[in-house]
Chain A
Amino acid sequence: MMKPRGNTRQNHISLARQIIETVLEHGYAEGDHLPESTLSKACGVSRTPIRSALKILEKSDIVRRRDEGGFFLFAAPDRIAQDGLSDIEDMVGSLASRILSDRAERRITDVQSVSALARRYNAPRSAVLNALKILTSDGIVVQMPGRTWAFQPILDTPNAIEESLAFRLTIEPQAILAPGFQMDSRKSGLLRQQMNAFLDRPDGRLSASGFLHLDCAFHSFIAESSGNRFARGALLAHHRLRLSTQKDQSIPDFRLRQSLEEHLGIIDSLERMQLQLAADQMVVHLRRSQIRKPRTVNRGILPLARGAPA
């Protein structure tokens, strides 16, 4: 029998919290293997929900799946002790995230009322209102006249991703070229390390969600470094939206690697203060990312490419 809708995810989030507590109690160190059997025994549940909870922790960069099999602790225990539990709550467990995720997966329509959301999530109206305020502050929903709330465009479809890339192609090179571009070298070093670690993974082990995290971190870093406050603000908000709502499983490993190499090339140029070159590299990088598979194909009729004229 299926469980009542909506409860399973909450259970996995609770389990993710339990796993963090277990990790801290057992004194695991960064890089340690986290055997599913041990966690399963410690939390008193089977391995299947443990795996789902570990995937939630992976999204928060607390654990990572490695090619040798299984999950490993990716963050330092003191960082987890400090931020881990609230991260889970804030990053994936909050009602705001659940609402956003459900919209991105087209489970709920783009216009919602507080009472409808309260019913769906079995949550008090005050919690729903709070979640909607969080989403409003990121520009994801707006309150309409009356009692409805409307979702703004998100990156939930190939067409939306295409429009996002066109927008970024206009702004991101300019964010680099605007006077006052200044880069935090400590952050660029960290990003470089993370990208190299990802590139070290073998083919077939490059997860789309892991790539999206790295990709958003890199492009947000470029935005943060921009000397133009409006480019900075618009791009940071856009990359937050990408991180929360973009789903794109269609990128082959070769392109994921090529994309990260392009990031590293841009960082190289920025470190040498070759800003024009970095901006040009950004144009090439985004143009390559614009290539998408044709929408529809059939024998005898040429494929309809994405973005084909109407």
Chain B
Amino acid sequence: MTRPVIALFPEASFGSALNCVGIAQQLQRQGAVPVFLCHPGFSGVFAEYGFKEYQLPANAAAAQQSEETWQAFITAHLEHFNLSPTAQLTTYVAPTWEAIVDTAIQVEAGLDILLRRIRPDAIVLDNVIMFPAIANAGVPWIRVVSCAETEIPDAHVPPYLSGMAADDPARPAFEAAYLKATAPAHHRYNAFRARCGLPPLPAGQFLEPSPHLNLLLAPDAIRHDRKTPLQPDLFVFLDGCVREEAQFDPPPLPVNEGPIIYLSFGSLGAIDIALIRRMIDVFATLPARFFVNVGGFLERYEQVPDNVYLGSWFPQPSIVAQADLFIHHGGNNSYCEALYFGVPSLIMPYCWDGHDNGTRAEQTGTGVHLQRNGWRDHELRGMVLSLLGDTRMLERMVAISDAMQKKNGAADAARTILAKIGCHELI
């Protein structure tokens, strides 16, 4: 039979993009032809992993995207990342939803043309919003929830982006504030959906569950007990979805002793240079080796301590596999990689579902949650040393890792997708 073409459309974030690379590697291995739809700026990322790319046409706004635009974004939002999840609703979450809706509207025509050209057998959407061209493409579409499980609401699951426990007494107030903050973007989005022939979504929701298949990147160890269980034939939980990545050999450092600690706040978190500099000052006093992802801002650092190594990019799965502790922002991809390799997390969230994962790590004994700017040097130092010495947590992490590696979520994802589109003979 002809090999099925699966079009993967991750949102323009490294977490989704690389999560989809993991699934695409397995789809390819299982006989399908994965191709990527990508936003301008991401071109080349997927080709470097050997996949064909189709770039969405750049519109006028995109053509003007520049360092200046990003600087304005950073200036506007850096201080918001220190706010509580509730305070972020109006300062960060609402404007971000407005921008996401803008993006969905801007790419619609180009996406529709691309899909007609590619004529895929199925579409994998790893995003937080529905693009009507996908729902209208006439082929099965698969939703990948690569954010925290909180993205799919339930009475026993904490509210999305809240960082709360499910039974937090402040829950109703947060939920009301969320709906109020997102209402203008939601209203605009529903109007757009109507123009494209799609039914409206309930308040606060921008992406419906797929009627074909939904994959959730929520390993067993951190999964919530839902009041209304999800339909098992439509919702499949994945135990990690880790891509195959280049090997990282930690270079010998001038002070080359002690456990390996990896820090990455993602490409967005790297904009907070002051925070990372402050952390590096503390790292210099610790008996460990630190590998720090500073993203595109390497040139802003000098006088790097002898037990610290800075990089603008690390092949994360390889270095996490070798690490004794992973300090990150609670991005779901990072958190799941930590679980997959049995590495405790020190989560310092600054926005979105990082708050939810920070809380979940505490609840499940898989890491600790530290307020991003609310620490003193001795507290960070104590927390790192305590995590390195927490044998109970480490034992738990090893057990979780063993279970996840046996299951291989990326291979499961590919198998389930192919089965859903009737390609059993490829599996």
Residues of A within 8 A of B (CB): 1-3, 5-6, 8-9, 12, 52, 55-56, 98, 102, 105-109, 156-159, 203-209, 247, 249-256, 258, 291-306, 308-310
Contacts and interface: CB of A to CB of B under 8 A. Distances in A.
B64 to A, nearest CB: 9
Given A12-B256, A256-B246, 5 more contacts: A55-B252, A296-B268, A298-B268, A303-B12, A308-B66
B246 A304 contact: no
Given A206-B247, A208-B247, A255-B48, A157 B299 contact: yes
A109 B128 contact: no
A310 B298 contact: no
A98 B306 CA distance: 12
Interface in B268-292: 268, 270-271, 287
Interface in B225-253: 244-249, 251-253
Interface string B18-53: 000000000000000000000111111101111000
A158 B312 contact: yes
Nearest to A109: B302
B304 A252 contact: no
Interface stretch (B96-104, B162-170, B396-404): B96-104
Chain B binding site: helix, strand, loop or mixed by DSSP?
A: loop
Which of B66, B249, B252, B295 has the most chain A CB atoms closer than 10 A to its own CB? B252
Interface stretch (B68-76, B151-159, B334-342, B418-426): B68-76
Given A52-B252, A249-B311, A296-B296, A304 B67 contact: yes
B254 interface: yes
B181 to A, nearest CB: 14
A106 B298 contact: yes
Chain B interface extent, by class:
35 or more
A159 B299 contact: yes
Contact of A300 (B41, B98, B298): B98
A291 B49 CA distance: 12
Nearest to A55: B252
B97 A157 contact: no
Q: Among A295, A309, A310, find the residue whose CB has the most chain B CB atoms closer than 10 A.
A: A295
Interface in B285-333: 287, 295-296, 298-299, 301-307, 309-315, 318
19 contacts: A9-B253, A12-B252, A106-B303, A107-B303, A107-B306, A158-B312, A204-B244, A208-B247, A251-B48, A253-B244, A254-B48, A294-B41, A295-B295, A295-B296, A297-B13, A299-B100, A301-B99, A302-B103, A304-B41
Interface string B138-161: 000000000000000000000000
B40 A302 contact: yes
B249 to A, nearest CB: 5
Contact of A106 (B73, B246, B302): B302
